[in-house]
Amino acid sequence: MFTGKDPISERDGNTVEDILAQARDRARKGEHSWSYNYDEAKKDVVFLAGNQWPDKERILRETEGRPALVLNQLPKFVDQVLGDQRQNRPGIKVHPVSADAGNKVQSMNGQDYTLAEVYEGLIKNIEYTCNAEASYDMAFQQAVESGFGWLRVLTDYSDNDAFEQDIKIKSIRDRFSVLIDPRAQEADASDMNWCFVTEMMSKKEFDKRYPDATIGDLFEDKNWWLSDDSVRVAEYFTREPITRRLLLLTDGRTVYHDEVKDVLDELAASGITIQRERKVKTYKVVWRKITAWEVLEGPIDWPGSTIPIVPVFGKDITVDGQPRYMSLIRHAKDAQRMHNYWMTTVTEKVALSPKAPFVGPAKAFSGYENFWNEANRKNLAYLPYNDEASAAPQRMMNSPMPTAEVQMAMSGIDEIKNTIGMFDASLGRQGNETSGRAILARQKEGDTGTFAFVDNLSRSIRRCGKIIVELIPKIYDSERVVRIAFRDGTSDNVPINQSIIDMQTGETVLVHDITNGKFDVVVETGPSYNTQRMEAADTMMQFVQAVPQAGQVAADLIAMNMDWPGADELAKRLKKVLPQGILTEQEAQDAGINPPPPPPPDPKVQQMQLQMQISQQEAQANMQIEQLKLKQEEIKTQALVAKSQTDLQMAQHKATTAVSGQQPPIDPAQLEAFVRQSVAKALAEYQAGA
């Protein structure tokens, strides 16, 4: 447990008491701002779960023994939207922004990938390992059911016995446990300055985990932080503006001074120095775990510049400056109540209508009671009656179906469809449409009416992708091998941040450095890979039916896209029986097919090739002759130089003799003139001989 003063806040002049006081104030304001959305969301969830009658009306009917039917039509609309989302999953795409983002990284199998491809594949692997699809589905379902859901990005150790960390994407199951800054203006709330992720912990468990912690309640009249048997513990994120020194190193990297200040000497020793620097205004995110009166854990600096809590909103509207997030069923509840009421009325009327099929004087049944008592249960051949009665029994017609009430109940269902914007074609029912184009148009109309939910999910997933792109250089900063995944389910292993020794310079060089490069994130929504395979196979089959000849050259492709055991093996076999010329030489080798023998040569082509060979031989002979001439010239030049050197040596000998007194001294100028004359004479003799 963290006790004492917060070292990070002390730097800013704030104490723990100041931090907690600010946290309590923010929690109070956040709860007040979010109270409408939370209250309405709870009503939506409870209503969708089947509690659709007002409590007073339901209790009164139960007391009187009257029915209160719930014929819940809403889940099928919710399920339809959820099903559409799961069949058309958004996918994160990474696009390079800077030039170095296109640098190549080689995998363990020798395959080259750009840094952008490595980032994208790493994100897909992160999604796979942490089961991000389930988190996306849960957050989206919460948004459809209640108007909002939550995702979060966090880091954790890759294994219990490892020191390397991985990035994970998770959802927050309790949608009402999150309070975010109501002043956030961005559509994805990426500019929020604070956030609470809370849980209610029993006092017994709290005392066990934090035995020395102080507990208390912020409100006297409303126990938000504390109840009789529970304590609210909150993850408290803050986003604080700071100024940092941005450095441009001589190796082209840009880093913050506080990140590399401890290794600047090592960088300088390896020849990497600071080329430029400037001050940058940015943000620092700090995480703490708190109660109303105690900092239990932290502070810990989050490696990103934004709070890693990502909302998934439903439809929204702003009223009096406050955003209101709506579920799919928010405005369909009255129509559902209408349907329940009138169907209950119909049932009640039919149930209370007379059940006796015959009426008559009491004396008419005297002595034959057994027959008449069985008349409703058995198919008797005859029904005797006492003829002493004044009149014979008569069959009574059953009460007619209350048509007006039934019509009102059906109107309620139509109102649900109109309110939500989904009609029979969207729900798989047969409507008035007869042509396929009309059916697709009506389905598209229903999809358009609910597309805001799917689009908001894509926006949130893009936000997760941007957070991960910012974290990757800081979390995957050591020498390691990472797995990158692809959309078709395949994967590859890529070594990153590898240190090798340059054989020419002897210096240690960092290769496959993924900290370089800037990237942008987009989200593409479309059918899943398996769905695309099935659609491709179905479309190919329809095409082959229209053009039977295509089946002879596309049978392997059709089998490849089939989704049943042995389809891939069948595709390989079909490749071997394709007509000659369909597959390239490489495709034939990959399929294990021996390439066909080459066709016989064309005589005209042979004649042209022979002429080209003769021309090449003539050119080579001419080249050799020229080389011989050049060699002869070189030999003559060498002889000339040798003769000049001999003359020079003779001149030097004469000069030496003169100095020793054997001959008169020679003037240096005369010696230089003598050498020049000797060289000129040798050159003239050479030219005359040539």
List, for residues 361-381, the tens digit of each pLDDT value: 888 888 888 888 887 777 788
In a domain, 348, yes or no: no
Per-residue confidence (pLDDT) for residue 668, from 0 to 100:
55
Supply the angle between the helices 74-87 and 132-146 in degrees, to the nearest 10: 150
Per-residue confidence (pLDDT) for residue 25, from 0 to 100:
92
The pair of structure tokens assigned to 124 is 């897909």
Per-residue confidence (pLDDT) for residue 627, from 0 to 100:
76
The pair of structure tokens assigned to 490 is 């395949």
Say if residue 631 is in the same domain as residue 569.
no
User: Residues 49-61: what's their mean pLDDT?
Assistant: 92
Say if residue 162 is in the same domain as residue 302.
yes
List, for residues 153-176, the tens digit of each pLDDT value: 998 876 665 567 889 999 999 999
pLDDT band for position 2 (cuts 50, 70, 90): very low
Least confident of 445-454, 509-518, 557-566: 509-518
Give yes or no for residue 349 having a pLDDT over 90.
no
More confident position, 13 or 392: 392
List, for residues 516-561, the tens digit of each pLDDT value: 767 778 777 666 555 566 666 777 777 777 777 777 777 777 777 7
Cα 146 from Cα 330, distance rounded (Å): 8
In a domain, 65, yes or no: no
Say if residue 247 is in the same domain as residue 359.
no
pLDDT band for position 3 (cuts 50, 70, 90): very low
The secondary structure of 386-408 as a DSSP string is -TTSSS--EEPPPPPP-HHHHHH
Say if residue 506 is in the same domain as residue 468.
yes
Say if residue 568 is in the same domain as residue 626.
no
Domain of 626 in residue numbering reads as 603-689
List, for residues 645-666, the tens digit of each pLDDT value: 666 666 666 655 554 555 555 5
Say if residue 321 is in the same domain as residue 375.
no
Domain count, the chain: 4
List, for residues 566-622, the tens digit of each pLDDT value: 777 777 777 777 776 666 666 666 666 665 556 666 666 666 776 677 777 777 767
Say if residue 584 is in the same domain as residue 610.
no
Say if residue 579 is in the same domain as residue 666.
no
Q: Is 200 helix (H, G, I), strand (E, B) or coil?
A: strand
Per-residue confidence (pLDDT) for residue 10, from 0 to 100:
38
pLDDT band for position 7 (cuts 50, 70, 90): very low
Give yes or no for residue 149 having a pLDDT over 90.
yes
Query: Which of these, 240, 236, 218, 237, lies nearest to 227 by C-alpha position?
Result: 218
Say if residue 286 is in the same domain as residue 180.
yes
**Residue 403: Cβ-neighbour burial (10 angstroms; 0-12, 13-18, 19+):** exposed
More confident position, 80 or 548: 80
In a domain, 435, yes or no: no
Alpha helices of 547-602 — where are they, by DSSP H?
Answer: 551-560, 567-576, 585-590
In a domain, 19, yes or no: yes
Most confident of the ranges 30-39, 443-452, 470-479: 30-39
pLDDT band for position 300 (cuts 50, 70, 90): very high
More confident position, 353 or 406: 406
More confident position, 101 or 51: 51
Say if residue 662 is in the same domain as residue 537.
no
Query: Which of these, 133, 682, 83, 23, lies nearest to 422 by C-alpha position?
Result: 83
- What's the sign of the alpha-carbon dihedral 167, 285, 8, 22? negative
Per-residue confidence (pLDDT) for residue 285, from 0 to 100:
94
In a domain, 433, yes or no: no
Say if residue 132 is in the same domain as residue 265.
yes
- Tokens 């008419």 correspond to 364
List, for residues 190-245, the tens digit of each pLDDT value: 999 999 999 999 988 988 898 888 776 544 445 678 887 888 999 999 999 888 88
Per-residue confidence (pLDDT) for residue 235, from 0 to 100:
95
Per-residue confidence (pLDDT) for residue 505, from 0 to 100:
55
Determine contact, residues 229/203, Cβ cutoff 8 Å: yes
In a domain, 409, yes or no: no
Give yes or no for residue 8 having a pLDDT over 50.
no
3-state SS, one letter per residue, for 605-663: HHHHHHHHHHHHHHHHHHHHHHHHHHHHHHHHHHHHHHHHHHHHHHHHHHHHHHHHCCC
Say if residue 236 is in the same domain as residue 166.
yes
Least confident of 267-271, 293-297, 460-464: 267-271
- Tokens 């926006």 correspond to 459
In a domain, 68, yes or no: no
